[in-house]
Amino acid sequence: VSDASGCSMVALLHTGAAKFPRNLLPRVRQAVCSLLPAGVLKGYDSIVSRKLASHGFGASMAAMSSFPPQRYHYFLVLDFEATCDKPQIHPQEIIEFPILKLNGRTMEIESTFHMYVQPVVHPQLTPFCTELTGIIQGMVDGQPSLQQVLERVDEWMAKEGLLDPSVKSIFVTCGDWDLKVMLPGQCQYLGLPVADYFKQWINLKKAYSFAMGSWPKNGLLDMNKGLNLQHIGRPHSGIGE
């Protein structure tokens, strides 16, 4: 994806304190806590930070003093893209694997992991998939397999200190599909283990609906509208959304 300005999921987290009415802040905190389960692009960070600032998101930092304290040190924003068609193909395979490491205290992006993944069951992308995601065949041809990408994710997590037991981090997704359906389903198909850190996450839709009183049927678009945020980046593009 050529447009590295897309960061609407991060913008929602970054500006939420400024947009939520003060009387709703305790509910937001409770919403996030209630979701807890029982149990590399160099230079990209600064680009995203500048883009956020250019859209006026930096002003929300003044509201951080009223934002409820976070129990996590880092939020790992994740959004897969996968092979697809109409009617849907089976099995679907992850073709883009992006993660943004967001500091839970400053709400600043500290690091980015991003790789494209070569599909093996349906190696040829459909025209529908390319039109939806913006991912062309040349972006996935010759790229690492999912197993190799997962190994590099683990290396990145270790390098970023996210595997340290004293560091609390959690994935944030727009819906449950990424980590409840897509990743475990493909890993099961390929006979791959799923790392424990992928087994808990915050569904941003649930937190939003609890705080705002309505379910965002259209995902990010509805949440942006509800919070008066401008959507930037390309919809249905992992790193761009």
The reply to whether 155 belongs to the active site is no
What band does 17 get if pLDDT is binned at 50, 70 and 90? very low
Q: What is the pLDDT of residue 7?
A: 47
> What confidence tens digit (pLDDT) does each residue in 101-151 have?
999 999 899 999 999 999 999 999 999 999 999 999 999 999 999 999 999
Between 231 and 117, where is the model more confident? 117
Provide the CA 213 distance to its chain's centre, in angstroms.
Answer: 23
What band does 34 get if pLDDT is binned at 50, 70 and 90? very low
Q: What are the backbone dihedrals phi and psi of residue 74, each rounded to the nearest 5 degrees, phi first?
A: -140, 140
3 state DSSP class of 117: coil
pLDDT at 163 over 70: yes
Burial 69-100 (b: 16+ CB within 10 A, else e): ebebbbbbbbbbbbbbeeeebebbbbbbbbbb
The reply to whether 110 belongs to the active site is no
Q: Which of 81, 96, 160, 241 does the annotation list as catalytic?
A: 81
Computed over every residue of the chain, the mean pLDDT equals 81
Distance separating alpha carbons of residues 76 and 82, to the nearest angstrom: 19
> What confidence tens digit (pLDDT) does each residue in 78-92 have?
999 999 999 999 999
Q: What is the pLDDT of residue 24?
A: 52
Q: What is the pLDDT of residue 230?
A: 86
Q: What is the pLDDT of residue 37?
A: 44
DSSP code at position 181: I
Q: What is the pLDDT of residue 10?
A: 62
Q: What is the pTM of this model?
A: 0.75
> Alpha helices, DSSP H only, in 35-145?
44-54, 127-133, 137-140
Q: Which of 73, 114, 122, 236 does the annotation list as catalytic?
A: 236
Determine the average pLDDT of the residues in 33-59. Answer: 46
